[in-house]
Copies of this chain bind each other. A is one copy, B any other.
Amino acid sequence: MSTPGRGLHGRVLDTLGPAITAGEYPPGSVLRTDELAQHFQVSRSVMREAVRVLESMHLVESRRRVGVTVRPKAAWNVYDPQVIRWRLAGADRPHQLRSLTVLRSAIEPVAAGLAARHATAAQCAELTECALGMVAHSRGHELEKYLVHDVAFHRVILAASGNEMFARLGDVVAEVLTGRTHHEVMFEDPDPAAVTLHVQVAEAVREGDAPRAERLTREITMGALQELDVLAP
């Protein structure tokens, strides 16, 4: 899904990024480029490129005569897919998952409403196909296959909204859904009510019924939130 270790500087980021987002270096910590370069056995040029990327994510700040200081969590670019992935892989995964689910609950209903107005025929067809796929794999411990269609469903909704900001949240939703399936309730079959809701959303979008699509999607995301409350109160 992502692009691990593209070049040496990418390799460095793959360990330094998670370390910082995991709070291994608390905010205010000072790193020295030269030391880091030695530590990772790379040249200063490579290390500098890695630091530049971290700086563009507002994870660190590089100042002369001081060094590379870790910035407080509040400054981080938490919408950067890379940062999201790093944080989801780290210790505060539950907290992160909750934040993202709340975000979903705000975005997706509105996106579904817009999708009902703007979806093309092809998108409607794809949506229906996804919903049917979910139904087909909703029983008998076929969670992996179910997940694929679930992710695709929400991606189509977000894309069909016609809003590029919504569309770009497809990756985030995918991470959340994948994370939920793989780390929480891997064993049980999905809630039948949720499956039905997805089918109904597809219907509403196909019929251009924006309020209904929005309301139904809100039910879906509310369900996701409650599920989270049950598992991690």
Chain A residues proximal to chain B, CB less than 8 Å:
9, 45, 48-49, 52-53, 55-57, 73-74, 76-82, 99-100, 102-103, 105-107, 109-111, 114, 163-168
Please name 10 further chain A to chain B contacts, defined as beta carbons within 8 Å, in addition to the given A77-B81, A80-B80, A106-B111, sorted by A numbering.
A45-B45, A45-B48, A77-B79, A77-B168, A78-B165, A99-B163, A100-B165, A102-B166, A103-B165, A106-B106
CB distance from A55 to the nearest CB of B (A): 8
A165 proximity list for chain B (CB < 8 A): 78-79, 99-100, 102-103
CB distance from A167 to the nearest CB of B (A): 7
- Interface of chain A: mostly helix, strand, loop or mixed: helix
A103 proximity list for chain B (CB < 8 A): 107, 163, 165-166
A57 proximity list for chain B (CB < 8 A): 56
Q: What are 17 of the A-B contact pairs (CB < 8 Å)?
A: A9-B52, A45-B48, A49-B49, A52-B53, A56-B56, A56-B57, A56-B82, A74-B164, A77-B81, A77-B168, A78-B165, A78-B168, A79-B79, A79-B80, A79-B165, A103-B107, A106-B106
